[in-house]
Structure 1
Amino acid sequence: MTPFHKYHGAGNDFILLDDREGKLLHQFDQPTIARWCDRHFGIGADGLMLLRNHPDYDFEMVYYNSDGAPSSMCGNGGRCIVRFAADMGIVKEAFHFLAVDGPHRANLLPNGWVSLEMLDVTEVSRPQPDVFVLDTGSPHYITFREDVAGIDVFREGRSLRNSAPYKEKGININFVCEDEDGLTILTYERGVEDETLACGTGVTAAAIAAIFRAGVADGYFHVPVKAKGGNLAVRGQLTEGRFTNLWLEGPAVRVFGGEMD
């Protein structure tokens, strides 16, 4: 029996495994991970992560989507594994860990949220006036709408994700609307191949697209974002078209733990 822990970041939920002894990773092939993440026949999650030792960092994050395949960076997963690392006794004022897209810094905030440093973004494409494509550790398609209520995220998201030129590698689809309180977002995630209640890299991409779309002048920005599963925020710096010092912030909560055969 293998101990596991279940965490979520604004409803984006994950299975966390402590593999600092290096005994678990080889046991988790794609069918096993998919079975564990299945919401009817397993534990149920949007992804599975292993916390592993690394000689140059506080820890290494190894992440898989719910289909069992290795994934690109997961922002909410990164925040959850930081909370998990702290719960497992890795106590730091500031964390420095390695993920698939490179090193990340992170902090536990006084309000219980976790703040995660994201990669700089230097390129944003705009194939249509209200459509933006960019990479925030994972590729994202952002489409702005007057209102996101009533959107069939599964149907429309799946159609866009499988359209040219995105079908082969896949892309995450985000439907976004703006109001005086910030952004509201709905996300269809590749690898999960369904709507998720939140997506950290998608929230980051939406905030950047909103700043780009508004033509905001260089300087500091802070964008509140409401996902289906809860509230998050993105802060950063815009300088001559470069988005730097990007931080994704939001809740990271342990739900339960147990053992799985």
Structure 2
Amino acid sequence: MTIPFYKYHGTGNDFILIDNRQLTFPKNDTKTIQYMCNRRFGIGADGLILLENDNLTDTSAEKVDFKMVYYNADGQESSMCGNGGRCLTAFAKKLGIIHTCATFLAVDGLHHATISDSDVVSLQMIDVNEISFQSDYVFLNTGSPHHVTLVDDLDQLDVKKEGAAIRYSKLYGQAGSNVNFVQPLSDNHFRLRTYERGVEDETLSCGTGATAVAIAMQALGKTHASLIDLAVEGGKLQVSFTVVDGRYTQVHLIGPATFVFEGKIEL
């Protein structure tokens, strides 16, 4: 089998993107997805994303342009990926499916996105109604579960070791959680590093993680801004939101979605 693919990244969070509107990709073949994402033997990526036709009924109130099916590098279908959703929006534009606006279906529901001429994508994330505040961390779900903790020196932190210890702890059980370490830089500017479950390592960027950090910092009173600048290892992201009575709506993840190359792989 020969599979055409496209490689994109969102601030260093990289993905294999496949047009699967004809449903030819072996979706249940975990080993094939692992192989394609492997950085030594395959193409190499943090995850693999299929673009498919949506399966909503004709009675839906909104026109859906496409469906997003996301797999982590371990080959397992996973929860929402913010940077992946931004890259898939850019991919849909490249395929001519959309122009400047998109509505697509993901595992956590409908998402709206806009894309500029320079491929900066603003992706609307899910509302956040619940935040768990603990003595030394915050937990919230932004489409994927995220543990957020403040640290004094990100450069000296062993993110893989410390992140794995939390991810595999009794705190989150078998399902685990993504883990974010945050260092404030100014009132509305934060630096973060993220350990991602499914990749089981630090990634250069995590969109749902950046979203979680921005909301957590505002909820903790570390900032009063509603537009947060975030420095990730692979670049810069922004998160904007509206907050009323502790409920976060109109949440947008904003940043570049970059085409890298396209090719074909023999399986």
TM superposition score normalised by structure 1: 0.95
1:67-78 matched pairs, under 5 angstroms = 67-78=74-85
**What SS class does the counterpart of residue 89 from structure 1 fall into?**
coil
Write out aligned runs for 1:3-22 (5 A). Answer: 3-22=4-23
Post-superposition shift, 1:147?
2.3
Deviation at 1:202, TM superposition (A): 0.2
Identity of aligned residues (%): 48
1:146 aligns with 2:147: no
Deviations 1:226-261, CA, capped at 9 Å, x for gaps: 000010000010100000000000110010111111
Deviations 1:59-118, CA, capped at 9 Å, x for gaps? 000100000001000000000000000001112332100001000000003553100000
CA distance in 1, matches of 2:70, 2:198: 12
Aligned to 1:200: 207
- Flag the 1:38–1:8 CA change in 2: closer, same or farther, 3 A: same
Q: Does 1:158 align with 2:164?
A: yes
Question: 1:215–1:2: structure 2 CA closer, same or farther, 3 Å change rule?
Answer: closer
What is the one-letter code of the residue matched to 2:76?
A: A
Match of 1:169, SS?
coil
**Structure 2 Cα separation of the partners of residues 99 and 7 of structure 1:** 18
Partner in structure 1 of residue 105 of structure 2: 98
Q: Does 1:189 align with 2:212?
A: no
Please provide the CA RMSD for this pair: 1.4
Asked if 1 retains the 8 angstrom alpha-carbon contact of 2:230 and 2:237, the reply is yes
- Cα distance in 2 for residues equivalent to 1:257 and 1:12: 17
Contact 2:47 2:71 in 1 (8 A): yes
Question: Are residue 173 (structure 1) and residue 174 (structure 2) matched?
Answer: no
What SS is found at the alignment partner of 1:54? Answer: coil
What amino acid does structure 1 have at the position aligned with 2:243? L
Question: 2:61 maps to what in 1?
Answer: none
Equivalent position SS for 1:209: helix
What is residue 36 of structure 1 aligned with on the other side? 36
Q: 1:167 Cα shift?
A: 3.3
What runs of 5+ residues in structure 1 fail to find an aligned partner? none
Deviation at 1:215, TM superposition (A): 6.8
Q: Which residue of 2 aligns with 1:252?
A: 257
Tell me the TM-score normalized by structure 2. Answer: 0.93
Between the aligned partners of 2:18 and 2:222, the Cα distance in structure 1 is 43
- The equivalent of 2:93 in structure 1 is 86
Structure 1 range deviating more: 85-94 or 59-68: 85-94
Matched, 1:240 2:245: yes
1 CA distance for matches of 2:109 and 2:119? 25
- Structure 2: gaps of 5 or more residues: 57-63
Q: Deviations over 1:27-71 (max 9, x none)?
A: 551111001000001000000011101255100001000000010
Per the alignment, residue 60 of structure 1 pairs with: 67
Structure 2 CA distance for aligned equivalents of residues 112 and 36 of structure 1: 25
Structure 1 residues 92-101 or 137-146, which shifts more? 92-101
CA distance in 2, matches of 1:43, 1:165: 34
